[in-house]
Amino acid sequence: MYIIVIGGGKIGYYLSRTLLSEGHEVLVIEKDQAKCQHISDELGSICIRGDGCEATTLAEAGMGRANMLIAVTPEDEDNLVSCQMAKQKFNVPMTIARLNNPKNRPIFKKLGIDVAVSSIDLILEHIEEEVPTHPLTHLLSLKDGEQEIVEVKVPPTSPVVGKRLKDIPLPRDSFLSLIIGKEKGAQLPTPNTIIEPDDRLIAVTRPELEGELMAKISGS
């Protein structure tokens, strides 16, 4: 694939190095002369100096034949504009943006950026996974972002312990898809399944309902 990377800082540099080693054709666009020189010295002449939001620079970089654009500068507005330029002016099929402020996810999505990656969100997800006391873990955000798969651990003190599933009212649009018990292992939930302490429930829900779901299951 021909991949254009906007921003030659640390992320741009290591990303390009990895993509090159995977056999892709890579071009980096970077404003700063010193960073540009560093990339050329280390990785060969794959860096051009310029503004990755300017149509003339992008045209010069061969944006018209690029399969993918990845914008990883430390400024969200620059990443957004680079991606929009690529998408709208050059019809690049895939645009990926680094999100510095995770709150900008909705606007990036609305404006047609294919993938927005937030390192803050990724770190938070790992904290949730690694810290065992956290009662709810995000496992996967489904593609449209309106639904997600989460894991909730049932504390021994929860009011749902010992109850049958059919007697536990879940929030709307929330479903249990799997129950993983300490001894019984993974099983598909049925209306008569009885919840035991320390069961891990894998559920599909909506982001705005996760608090309600957690309250229902953990009893807090």
Positions in the binding site for other proteins (CB under 8 A): 53-56, 75-78, 80-81, 84-85, 88-89, 101, 103-104, 106-107, 110-111
Of residues 55 and 139, the one with the C-beta less far from other proteins: 55
Q: Phi/psi zone of residue 76: left (φ > 0), alpha (ψ -120 to 50 degrees), beta? A: alpha
Rounded Cα distance, 12 and 197, in Å: 46
Q: Least Å distance between CB 54 and other proteins?
A: 7
Q: Which is nearer to other proteins, 16 or 104 (CB)?
A: 104
Kindly tell me which of 58 and 96 has the beta carbon lying closer to other proteins.
58
At CA 131, angle to CA 129 and CA 132, rounded to 5? 90
- How many CA atoms lie within 13 Å of 132's alpha carbon, on the beta-carbon side? 2
Count CB neighbours of 185 within 10 A: 8
Q: Which is nearer to other proteins, 66 or 179 (CB)?
A: 66
| Buried b / exposed e along 142-181 (16+ C-beta atoms within 10 A) | eeeeebbbbbbbbbeebebbeeebeeeebbeebebeebeb
Least Cβ distance, residue 6 to other proteins (angstroms): 12
- Which CB atom, from 56 or from 133, has the smaller least distance to other proteins? 56
Minimal distance, residue 48 CB to other proteins, in Å: 18
| Min dist. Cβ of residue 209 to other proteins (A) | 21
- Cβ 183 to other proteins shortest distance, Å: 47
